[in-house]
Amino acid sequence: MVTLNPAMLYCSHPITSFNTPITKSPCFSQFPKTPFLQTPRRHLFTSVKFSLVEETIEDDEKIEERNQKYRWIEIGPNITESQKEAISKLPPKMTKRNKAFMKQIICFDSEKTGFTLFSMLRAWVKIMKPKRADWLLVLKEMAKLEHPLIFEVTEFALLEDSFEANIRDYTKLIDGYAKQKRLQDAEDTFQAMKSKGLTCDQITFTVLIQMYSKAGNLNQAEETFEELKLLGLPVDKRAYGAMIMAYVRAGMPQDGENLLREMEAQEIYAGKEVYKALLRAYSNLGDTLGAQRVFDLIQLARISPDVKLCALLINAHRVAGQSDGARSVFDNLRRAGLEPSDKCVALMLGAYEKENKLNVALDLLMDLEKDNIMVGKEASEVLVGWFRRLGVVDEMALVLSEYASKEAKCMTPVV
């Protein structure tokens, strides 16, 4: 499985996972945050007509021809240290013409030269006549350098016949914009792709669902998900998972659980992180029945529950004020051979505090002590808060000091 990251924003492989955000390298912090293509004159993807504004490009080209031709930047000793470092990272086997162009991009400064990036790109196309392989190599190196102008260069490339743009090229750009939370640019690119007659596939829809899900746009995520199903395209665990996460973020775990069961009916199983997010949603609501259902589904999916998943189930009972239910989960955890974490102990103490069961809580601590399980930081803080509210802080300090001394003795090696 391939994961999309800055170094892969433009290579020839299909997208199979979308997880890593694109960041800006400090080497290129001198570039303006607002790209030149976002101005009304230069934006290639219009949000009004959802078509490519090729007429604007032609007008710009005529203006450039009437004015002076673009002058290539002279790469001399006066370039900055960050530019020198970026140039040094270019691969030795890169062709001379592509390396020369990469140097121009690295050292590009519209304020100093008086030319736009568009002018430089048009000049390169006209003089060097690049092929798709050249475009891909340049974009790949820009991604490795985390160059802030990669989106603008990609948009330009998509309009060039020599680039031979396909659906995957558009999808990668949409995904890149989504990770930068530039939803309008992503949507414009999607519409531009459709206006070129390219048929949307499962991967493109999944990227959009993930984008809307993370942005909290539940309605748009649902519409995109339904469109994916209506078109008869295969719905895999990534698309399902993205939609389930959208419901979780919207505070609608029941709808997410319904999708989870729809998946399992087709013998499609979500990733552990999706189950965990759904379990957490029920846990925070104190919905013990919902949390237990998801916990059971986790085991049916052949995922072995760990301490963190058990802690979420304990928390559901704590929030609901059901200390007996929390203790049952806690004891089952130990019987399964798992050692309760400090978080689990803290949640159990919190459950007992909620019902004012101090003696039962102390019995639990004594029981844990027999198994050499000591009170950790988080559990100690719960105890301190509890005893402070009872007005017996000094007694609590004594108890904690005794636990600390016993823990130190347990950790002392026997000579």
pLDDT, one tens digit per residue, over 373-382 is 888 999 989 9
Q: What would the two tokens of residue 250 be?
A: 């919207």
The answer to the question of residue 414 being in a domain is no
Tell me the pLDDT tens digit for each residue of 140-182.
999 999 999 999 999 999 999 999 999 999 999 999 999 999 9
pLDDT recorded at residue 218: 96
The answer to the question of residue 261 being in a domain is yes
**278 vs 301: which has the higher pLDDT:** 278
The answer to the question of residue 75 being in a domain is no
Same domain, 138 and 21: yes
pLDDT recorded at residue 297: 93
Place of tokens 């719960």: 382
- Where is average pLDDT lowest: 191-205, 219-233, 276-290, 395-409? 395-409
Q: Which of 278, 304, 330 finishes a domain?
A: 304
Same domain, 381 and 272: no
Asked whether 305 and 292 are in contact (CB, 8 A), the reply is no
**415 vs 172: which has the higher pLDDT:** 172
The answer to the question of residue 252 being in a domain is yes
Q: Which of 253, 286, 304 finishes a domain?
A: 304
Number of structural domains found in the chain: 3
The answer to the question of residue 194 being in a domain is yes
Q: What would the two tokens of residue 401 be?
A: 């000091």
Q: How far is CA 113 from CA 72, 104, 268, 382, in A?
A: 9, 11, 56, 63
Same domain, 56 and 169: yes
Dihedral sign from CA coordinates of 276, 277, 278, 284: positive
The answer to the question of residue 72 being in a domain is no
Residue 279 sits in a domain whose CATH number is 1.25.40.10
Long-range contacts of 180-188 (CB under 8 A, 24+ apart): 180/21, 180/22, 180/151, 181/215, 183/211, 183/212, 183/215, 183/217, 184/47, 185/38, 185/45, 185/151, 186/211, 187/47, 188/45, 188/46, 188/47, 188/50
Provide the residue range defining the domain that includes 289: 200-304
Of 91-95, 149-153, 390-394, which has the strongest mean pLDDT? 149-153
When pLDDT is averaged across residues 59-86 and rounded to a whole number, the result is 69
Query: pLDDT tier at 387 (50, 70, 90 boundaries)?
Result: confident
Q: Which of 253, 276, 304 finishes a domain?
A: 304
Residue 34 pLDDT > 90: no
Same domain, 106 and 164: yes
pLDDT recorded at residue 407: 52
The answer to the question of residue 71 being in a domain is no
The share of the chain scoring above pLDDT 90, in percent, equals 57
Same domain, 94 and 114: yes
Residue 225 pLDDT > 50: yes
Same domain, 173 and 223: no
Q: 217, 167, 225, 157: which is closest to 197 by C-alpha?
A: 167
Same domain, 166 and 135: yes
Same domain, 123 and 33: yes
Tell me the pLDDT tens digit for each residue of 284-337.
999 999 999 999 999 988 999 999 999 999 999 999 999 999 999 999 999 999
Output the pTM of the full model.
0.75
Same domain, 26 and 155: yes
Same domain, 109 and 224: no
The answer to the question of residue 77 being in a domain is no
Tell me the pLDDT tens digit for each residue of 107-122.
888 877 778 888 889 9
Same domain, 8 and 47: yes
Tell me the pLDDT tens digit for each residue of 345-377.
999 999 999 999 999 998 999 999 888 888 899
Query: pLDDT tier at 410 (50, 70, 90 boundaries)?
Result: low
Asked whether 158 and 188 are in contact (CB, 8 A), the reply is no
Same domain, 258 and 354: no
